Structure formats: C-alpha cells, structure tokens
Amino acid sequence: MNTYHAERDAMTIELEDIGSNPAPRATISEIIEARFSRRGPLLGALAAGVAGTAGAQVPMQGGPSTLTFPELSHQLAQTDAVAEGHEKHVVIRWGDPVLPGAPEFDPRNVTAAAQAMQFGYNNDYIAVLPPERGGTIGARAILWANHEYTNTNLMFPGMGTGREARARVTAAQVEAELMAHGGSIVELERVDGRWKPAAAPRLNRRITGVTPMTVSGPAAGHPRMRTSEDASGARVLGMLNNCAGGTTPWGTILTCEENFNVYFGGELANSAQAESHRRYGIVASPGYGWHRHVARFDRSREPNEANRFGWVVEIDPYDPASTPIKRTALGRVKHEGATHAIAPDGRVVIYMGDDERFDYVYRFVTARPWDPQDLAVNRDLLDEGVLSVARFEADGTMRWLPLVHGQGPLTEANGFHSQADVLIETRRAADVLEATPMDRPEDVEANPVTGMVYVMLTNNASRTPERVDAANPRARNDHGHVVEIIPPGAEGRRDHAAESMRWSLFLRAGKPGLDAGAAYHRATSDQGWLSCPDNCAFDSKGRIWIATDGAPAAAGVADGIYAADTAGPGRALTRLFYQAPAGAEVCGPFILPDDSALFLAIQHPGEEPGSTFENPSTRWPDFAEGMPPRPAVVVITRAGGGAVGS
C-alpha cells in the first residue's frame, strides 16, 4: 500500500465504495487463487505458452506485440502525454456551449441556467455514433458523454476542500450541480483532420438531473416507486452519477446510474426499507448535502425517491424530443456499464458490473431477438427478458443464476413478493442466490472479434492480512485484475445467452517484483505495468485498450491507457499509450470503427487531497490563471493519418 492509495481510498469510501455486502461468500480473488495455485500458469491455458509471471523483462521494441507505437514512459505531471507519432486535442470541455444561446463559460459564476445549456461536469462514458441511424461515420458524427458527478471544491470558488466544500454548498449551487449531471449529445464534424463541435447542430441536447424520464419494465408503478410528487411511480426527474454505459444494436444509448446513494440523506421515515437502504449504502449523512436543500433527496420526506435511481437509462440520440427511459428489467445496482453482444439466435445480451467491493457481475438476455429492419420491434425490447448474476467456480467454470421471482429462494418467504421486488432489491436477490463477490466489477465488455468477455476488476482494499495464506497472498488487492469469460462456441458465434461458460485470467495488475502476484506477458516492459483497470474498448483487430482509475501516484504513475493483444504471441503484453494529468481518471474509451481516432473522457483533473478552486493541483487543459481544471473529451489520432497504435 502507498500513501496515494490510502488517500484515494478514504475519498472513495466516503463518496462511493461503502462495501455494503453483509456476508460475502468465497470472493473472486479467493477463487482465482484456489484455481491457479494448483494449476500452474496464473494466466491460464489460453495464454498459449507465451504468458507467465512478469519476472523476466525482455528489452525489445514492443516484443511480440502487434502494437508498434513507441511506448510512453510513466509520468506524473500537470499535463497529459501520448505516445510519439500521435496527436491529441481537446474536443469539448466542461462549460463549453452545447445548446444555442449558451452563455460563455464563467468559472466564477457557475449557474443552473448556464449549466443547463453547457457541457456538464466530469464526463465519463462516451460513444461516437454515425450522424444518421444505421449510417456510417465519415466527416460527421454524434458524441454522447455521461456527466457522472461534481467536484464541489473545484467547481466553485471559496469552498475549501472535500467534505468541507460539500457541507458549504448552497441551494443555488445544488441547482447548478444538478444541471451539471446527466449527459450531453453533441454533433461533431471533422475539419482538416480534426474533430470538433459542428456548426449549426440539429441534435444537440442536454440531459440533466431534472430532465423528465419514464420508468418502464416490471418495477414501473410499484408502490415502492411512488412518491408524493409522482403517484404513478412511472415518472422521475433526472438521472444521477452516470458512470459507464453502452449502446444498443438499434442505435440508442444505455447510460448507467452508479453511486446514486451519495445524494440521499436524512433519517429514513419508512423503517421497512431500512435494510434495503443499507444494502445500497444510503445513509443519513451522505457525501453530498443536497438533501438539506431539495426535498426529494431527504429520506424523511421522500423515503421512496432513492428507489427510482440506480437503473440503466435508454436514450435516443437521434430524436431530441424523445423521453429517456429507465429500464427496470436490467436491475437496480451501482451500474458500471451496460454493453451488448448478440446471441446466435439474435437475442441481445447486456453485460453489467456493480461497482462496489464484494458485489457482482450481471447479464440480461432479451426475451426476443432484435430486428435490424424494424425499429418499432426493438423499442421496448429491454423491458422483457431474464436478468442473471454470475457465480465463478475454482474449476474454471461459471454459471449465470437467473434473478426470477418464484425461482429458488426468490420467494415471498424471503421478502420478494414480485419481480418488482427482485429488481428494486437486485443486490439482496443476488446475495440470496450466493453469487460470487467481486473486487469492484466495473466495465464488462465482449470483444467483437473473438467473442470473449472481459471484466475489469478495479481493486479491493478490504482484504486483510488475516486472510492471507498460501492460496491468498494478496492482502489489500490495491491493483485489481482482468477476468476473461469464454462463452461456448467458435469465434464469431459465441453463445452469450448460454447458462454456463468458462473463465480465465487475462492479467493481474500491479508492479512486477513489488506487488505480490502481478502477472502479465513476460515481455511487458517497466512502463507497461498498470494499476486499477476500469474501462476498456476494442479496436478492429480485437486488441484491448484498458483505461485505469487509481494509479499509484507515489510511484510516479498517473492513470492512463494501456493496449494489448488478446490473442497470439503478444497476448496480455500491455503497453502504455497515454497518461492523464495529475488527479485525473481516464474514461471512455471509444475507438472509431476504422481505428482512425481514439476518444477519451478525462475526468476530475486536479482531484487530489488539498486541491481547491483557487489552488488546484493542475489547471489542465487551459492552463490559464484563474481557470480551474476542466474535465474534457479529447481525441487522439495518428500524425499523418492511419490507425491509432500502429
């Protein structure tokens, strides 16, 4: 453990990672150790004999990797860096105009009215879509960006730091923060090889913390979804803490509410929901102080309002008049992503992670196949299907356990009176089914080339020295690992709807020689090791690009992007491509289908202990006196054209 991790852990636990699983069974780390401690190579049979523990470094330019860019050196600096031969520029920043008539950004006068028309704060998941539904990306495109949360101390002057800033927030500032949440739709155009916001856009839109939304699926209208402002239980204002996400085959956005618990406070008026609130980390004194100013966030006034958050929201970027829909059939957890794959019979499979230590990996399979020719058939496809949770076994198999009311222990005797109860209390339902507790499951994505599924397990600081033994050598799993799930079937025809699959380990993060158990390809360089895998993307060749969140600053390492082959001689040979400015996390990432551009969301630059509006640890990306750090979307291209990473 290093000082940086200790400081970040304190901030994360306060705002996000409560760790509310009351009695986790055998965890994924224990299962990994039980499997591989007796089966030899840590990276499993799929390593094809070229992978092993990263003890013997081979000093070669890329080694057997098909990624030929000159590898970047680890750095910790006020600005960012990208591999030689590539260019980076900012596409859009917090406060830039999105809607016509948006005022010029004034960092000393951030208002709700201005934020409702400007690019929001802390961009996270991004998607770049064709300018027309079903079309291709040429000189124009549509950018979607989540706006996850706000750093009050960096957003407003005179607030101090951390909890002190959040305690000082005024009613007007809360309104501004609400408007800075949600998401943005921004039309882009490529001019002289550079992507930028388009002139005269038709589809630009801001989704905020007060945008009216529809609730659909089995939980819609349930009594626990009703409030004094919404007797129907089918309408809600806004979405909150939207972290990662995904797209659908029919061209809509799936954006995911993650740490919604941090916005609700006060004493719970309805004690019948006390256990449910505890399981989601909802407490009387939360990280934010919004409940003091907005009645619906005060549990003593609206005990059901929190039940209306924690969902996957579907948004149509091609229809500015459309109403966002919270799809309750996909479950209520701290969603980190909702990415799709297609089963051989055409049913759509959505993979999801619940980003908290000792929580779970989920999958949703639609009841019907999607229809490429009929949008109307697909419109409510995500309202019917089966939600399941993963159980991993030490023999290398895993099963998907259906979360269906009336099946197994999900009965009235255990407090589940309907499918709505199962979905509103998805975590408790997964507990009862004895799913495998994971080390903060974040992005879960299927490789479009190989069909393998990759689970980013960021870290787990809750493992203690008392739990260390020969099979469990990593107390405080500070650095995380990447699990690989192998659905049955051949490449290109994987059955993502299968009940049983196999699993292996793609890599175990950390610095070789320093962090116990760190394992990559043997040719990984001293610059190629990583910490805290978070999100990932795949290029047209099926290579994985991993974004990190929580790199060890004490070791002089910022968060960044690492790329690796997923098959062949260079499998798991991670290479450092990009590093973020101080305090920032790299989100996204999104690679255009022709590999010509890599879009990244750079979130919370300057989010370090002691950093304030007046004295931030960086002023990225403007570096102008008096200008605070600004979360931004950047795009990286190859100088002179061609595929990124080559």
Give the Cα separation of 483 and 623 in Å (integer).
Answer: 39
Token pair of 248 as six digits: 């659908």
Token pair of 278 as six digits: 């505890």
**Residue 470 vs residues 27, 36, 443, 516: alpha-carbon distances, Å:** 16, 12, 30, 12
pLDDT of the residue at 62? 57
Ranges of the chain with pLDDT below 70:
1-18, 23, 37-62, 463-475
For 481, list phi and psi in degrees, rounded to 5. Answer: -160, 170
**Residue 482 vs residues 555, 571, 615: alpha-carbon distances, Å:** 22, 13, 37
Residue given tokens 């799993």 in the structure block: 477
pLDDT of the residue at 52? 33
**Residue 620 vs residues 29, 93, 151, 238: alpha-carbon distances, Å:** 37, 10, 15, 29
List % helix, strand, coil for the chain (3-state, nearest 5).
15, 30, 55
Q: How many CB atoms lie within 10 A of CB 575?
A: 28
Contacts of 136 (CB under 8 A, 6+ apart): 130, 593
Contact 543, 564 (CB under 8 A): yes
Please report the domains of the chain, with CATH numbers, ordered by start residue. 3-638 (2.120.10.30)
Q: What residues pair up with 502 in beta bridges, in sequence order?
A: 397, 486
pLDDT of the residue at 9? 43
Q: How many CB atoms lie within 10 A of CB 359?
A: 29
Give the Cα separation of 602 and 88 in Å (integer).
Answer: 12
Token pair of 120 as six digits: 């929001």
Contact 642, 598 (CB under 8 A): no
Token pair of 551 as six digits: 């790199």
Residue type, 525: S
Contact 129, 144 (CB under 8 A): yes
Give the Cα separation of 522 and 570 in Å (integer).
Answer: 10
Give the Cα separation of 614 and 72 in Å (integer).
Answer: 32
Give the Cα separation of 540 and 525 in Å (integer).
Answer: 25
For 212, list phi and psi in degrees, rounded to 5. Answer: -60, 135
User: Cα torsion at 232, 234, 237, 240 (round to 10°)?
Assistant: 140
For 424, list phi and psi in degrees, rounded to 5. Answer: -65, -35
pLDDT of the residue at 296? 98
pLDDT of the residue at 342? 98
Q: Which of 404, 394, 606, 440 lies closest to 533 in space, CA to CA?
A: 440
Ordered DSSP codes for 226-285: --SS-TTSSEEE----EEEEEE-TTS-EEEEE--GGGG-BS--S-GGGHHHHHHTT--SS
Give the Cα separation of 338 and 352 in Å (integer).
Answer: 5
Contacts of 191 (CB under 8 A, 6+ apart): none
Contacts of 641 (CB under 8 A, 6+ apart): 193, 596
413 conformational bin, left if phi > 0, alpha if psi -120 to 50, beta if neither? alpha
Q: Which of 81, 74, 87 lies closest to 575 in space, CA to CA?
A: 74
Ordered DSSP codes for 478-536: -S-EEEEEE-SSSTT---TT-SEEEEEEEEE-S-TTTSTT-EEETT--TTT----EEEE
Residue type, 550: G
The residue count of the chain comes to: 646
**Cβ burial, residue 134 (10 Å; 0-12/13-18/19+):** exposed
**Cβ burial, residue 84 (10 Å; 0-12/13-18/19+):** exposed
For 166, list phi and psi in degrees, rounded to 5. Answer: -65, -30
pLDDT of the residue at 502? 98
Give the Cα separation of 483 and 32 in Å (integer).
Answer: 9
> With helix as H, strand as E and coil as C, how does 335-373 read?
ECCCEEEECCCCEEEEEEEECCEEECEEEEEEEEECCCC
Q: What is the pLDDT of residues 186-195, one digit of tens each?
A: 999 999 999 9
Residue given tokens 């479950």 in the structure block: 331
pLDDT of the residue at 625? 95
User: Cα torsion at 110, 116, 119, 122 (round to 10°)?
Assistant: 70
Give the Cα separation of 315 and 333 in Å (integer).
Answer: 19
Q: What is the pLDDT of residues 509-568, one digit of tens each?
A: 999 888 888 999 999 999 999 999 999 999 999 999 999 999 998 889 999 999 999 999
Q: What is the pLDDT of residues 365-416, one digit of tens each?
A: 999 999 999 988 999 999 999 999 999 999 999 999 999 999 999 999 999 9
Q: Which of 544, 543, 545, 547 lies closest to 534 in space, CA to CA?
A: 547
CA angle at 600 for the pair 634 and 580, rounded to the nearest 5°: 80
Q: Which of 584, 588, 577 lies closest to 637 in space, CA to CA?
A: 577
